[in-house]
């Protein structure tokens, strides 16, 4: 939670946020839907994203409280939010809604928030689940959590590539 004198969390691009995260520590990945929030977490070495749960959205304060509890349980050092950018690179209403959610969450935590381009993540996960012959009903139950895994794993892979390119890994 945020102390009275603490600054709110920074909201940055993934690459910029990474400079504010310690070298080790879990990251929490989020896929924000209108009705649910898919949640994934990384291991402390940030190599693998795994699903945590799908939160049924209620009120922001309740949703945020659950996310902060998950972050505390996993000793997370930051959040990665999927930013739904349009195919032409512009930001529409969903991206604006994600940025608003990030601003509100930042007011409740000091953990830096990284925004990661999530174009086509849900479509990619949907294709994967169809390929695995997962029923439509089951896909609906797991799609947001799997999208959060996809988003977070993409971010982890990008961070790993940056580390190896700079010779720090």
Residue 169 forms part of a structural domain: no
- Please tell me the predicted confidence (pLDDT) of residue 1: 47
Residue pLDDT, tens place only, 15-25: 999 999 999 99
Residue 118 forms part of a structural domain: yes
- How many C-alpha atoms does 137 have within 13 Å on its Cβ side? 0
Query: For residues 124 and 82, is the Cβ–Cβ distance under 8 A?
Result: no
| Pairing, β 78-83 against β 27-32 | parallel
d(CA 73, CA 150): 22
> Model-level pTM?
0.87
Structurally, the chain folds into a number of domains equal to 1
Domain limits for position 133: 11-164
Residue pLDDT, tens place only, 27-86: 999 999 889 999 999 999 999 999 999 999 999 999 999 999 999 999 999 999 999 888
Residue pLDDT, tens place only, 92-114: 898 999 999 999 999 999 999 99
- The CATH number for 45's domain is 3.30.420.140
User: In 10 A of CB 77, how many CB atoms?
Assistant: 20
Residue 6 forms part of a structural domain: no
């Amino acid at each position: 939670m945020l102390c009275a004198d603490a600054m709110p969390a920074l909201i940055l691009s993934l690459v910029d946020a990474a400079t504010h995260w310690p070298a080790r520590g879990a990251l929490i990945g989020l896929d924000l839907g209108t009705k649910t929030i898919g949640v994934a977490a990384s291991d402390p070495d940030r190599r693998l994203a795994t699903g945590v749960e799908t939160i049924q959205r209620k009120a922001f304060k309740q949703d945020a409280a659950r996310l902060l509890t998950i972050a505390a349980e996993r000793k997370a050092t930051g959040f990665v939010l999927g930013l739904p950018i349009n195919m032409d690179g512009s930001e529409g209403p969903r991206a604006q809604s994600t940025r608003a959610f990030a601003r509100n969450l930042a007011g409740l935590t000091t953990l830096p928030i990284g925004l990661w381009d999530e174009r086509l993540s849900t479509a990619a996960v949907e294709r994967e689940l169809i390929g695995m012959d997962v029923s439509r009903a089951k896909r609906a139950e797991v799609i947001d959590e799997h999208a959060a895994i996809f988003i977070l794993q993409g971010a982890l892979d990008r961070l790993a590539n940056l580390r190896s390119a700079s010779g720090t890994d």
